[in-house]
Amino acid sequence: MEILFATNNAHKLMEVQAVLGPGFKLLTPRDCGVTEDIPEEQETLEGNASQKARYLHGRTGMDCFADDTGLEVEALGGAPGVHSARYATDGHDFTANNRLLLENLAGQTNRRARFRTVISLILKGEEHLFEGIVEGRIIDSEQGHEGFGYDPLFIPDGYDRTFAQMTTGEKNEVSHRARAVRKLAAYLHAIEK
């Protein structure tokens, strides 16, 4: 099955393709002639996932899905949350975001955090939402070079390594996005039958 995924992030694409397996061929917006930035202007993960998927469906008429993810840190009242990509700057500057997160948690003993992903699927014009969550904690300094974003600072519960110290396969065993994508895949498999 071919399905359009609203991302041009190569890491995300790889993670999601690994969870979906060879039965699904993921297309990117660029593959379908969508080269402009896809709008995400909402104040919730659900709102942004939905806006991205609906936009892409409007532009292409194809079945598609979009995800939106936030890192929700307990001691920061759930920040950066929906603002995770642009926490420190207007761009997607992972280094600056991680530095700001550590600054804002300096001296803080409560390091609890979770990643939450929401996926919006538009299938035959109808929308379906899926959620994935992984609980964990933020450490004091970056560890590891795999993955992207806040991965070097996040250790999921039950592990002693950050996501950035894991292979894609290991991260996918527990990650927020993989959990949401497995729900999406189960839904797509069920309706294919």
Residues marked active site are found at 68
Q: What are 68's strand-pairing partners?
A: 118
CB of 118 to ligand IMP, least distance (A): 9
Q: Which of 122, 44, 119, 57 is nearest to 84 (CA)?
A: 44
CB of 171 to ligand IMP, least distance (A): 7
Cis peptide before 39 (omega within 30 of 0): no
Question: How many residues in the shown chain lie near ligand IMP by CB under 6 A?
Answer: 17
Segment lying near ligand IMP (by CB under 6 A), choices 22-30, 89-97, 105-113, 182-190: 89-97
Give the residue at shortest CB distance from ligand IMP: 149
**What part of residues 42-81 is at the interface with ligand IMP (CB under 6 A)?**
67-69, 71
> Positive or negative, the Cα torsion across 47, 49, 52, 53?
negative
Q: Which of 165, 177, 154 is nearest to 73 (CA)?
A: 154
The verdict on 165 binding ligand IMP (CB under 6 A) reads: no
What count of residues does the chain have?
193
Per-residue contact flags (x/-) with ligand IMP for residues 18 to 47, judged by CB under 6 A? ------------------------------
* CB closer to ligand IMP, 86 vs 189: 86
> Positive or negative, the Cα torsion across 44, 59, 4, 36?
negative
* CB closer to ligand IMP, 7 vs 185: 7
Output b/e per residue, 132-142; b: 16+ Cβ within 10 A.
bebbbbbeeeb
What are the residues binding ligand IMP (CB under 6 A)? 67-69, 71, 84-85, 92, 94, 97, 147-151, 163, 175, 177
